[in-house]
Amino acid sequence: MLQELTYMRAAIAITVLLLVLQGNLGLEPEQETETYVVTVDSTNLRFNPSTVTLNEGDTLRFVWGGQALPHNSVEENGVFDSGDPERDLDFGHVFDYDSAGTYNFFCEPHESVGMLGSVTVLDVEAPMDDQPSNSTNTSSSQSMETAMNWEPVYAVGLIVLFSAATWRARIYD
């Protein structure tokens, strides 16, 4: 009976430890990417906003609905192209990790009246998954980090187990 209780206590402590470790593993460094939305303003002849600055990995989305006039968005060098002009559109383009630079886009039917825009893509470090070239380097530094994160968690777990065991021993022996 006494042994059963001790085992139960240890089992609970181990379960808690595993839950904590699992939470810890979920915190892998991962870069956040964002979506920037461009729509059409109330004049019906302008992008809003007409200039956007974002990071590599981010998404530029052109979204509008129920427009009086059909619009599209075409990058001048064909980097992206939403297709035929539409009154309702939801078109996105993801800028990958070697796309830093400035891109000019326009609405084909209204280019002549100034329906133009530009997006500046800033150079950022690709997430670790996207860098196979120096994978040896990153994986070793990553496992170092993981090991360092785990150490205190193990220490706390061991202290919990040890004090649970001694507490039991003191009361029942």
Contact set with Cu ion (CB under 5 A):
71, 107, 110, 115
State which residue, 71 or 93, has the beta carbon closest to Cu ion. 71
Unique residue bearing structure tokens 């496992």: 143
State which residue, 54 or 115, has the beta carbon closest to Cu ion. 115
In angstroms, give the least distance from the CB of 115 to Cu ion.
Answer: 4
In angstroms, give the least distance from the CB of 110 to Cu ion.
Answer: 3
Task: Label residue 148 left, alpha or beta by phi (over 0 means left) and psi (-120 to 50 means alpha).
Answer: alpha
State which residue, 88 or 123, has the beta carbon closest to Cu ion. 88
In angstroms, give the least distance from the CB of 84 to Cu ion.
Answer: 12
Residue in 47, 55, 43 with CA at minimum distance from that of residue 105: 47
Taking the C-alpha atoms of residue 89 and residue 73, their distance in angstroms, rounded to an integer, is: 10
Task: Name 57's Cβ contacts closer than 8 Å, sequence gap at least 6.
Answer: 31, 33, 94, 95, 96, 97, 124, 126, 127
In angstroms, give the least distance from the CB of 106 to Cu ion.
Answer: 8
Scanning 51-134, the segments in alpha helix (DSSP H) are none
State which residue, 52 or 115, has the beta carbon closest to Cu ion. 115
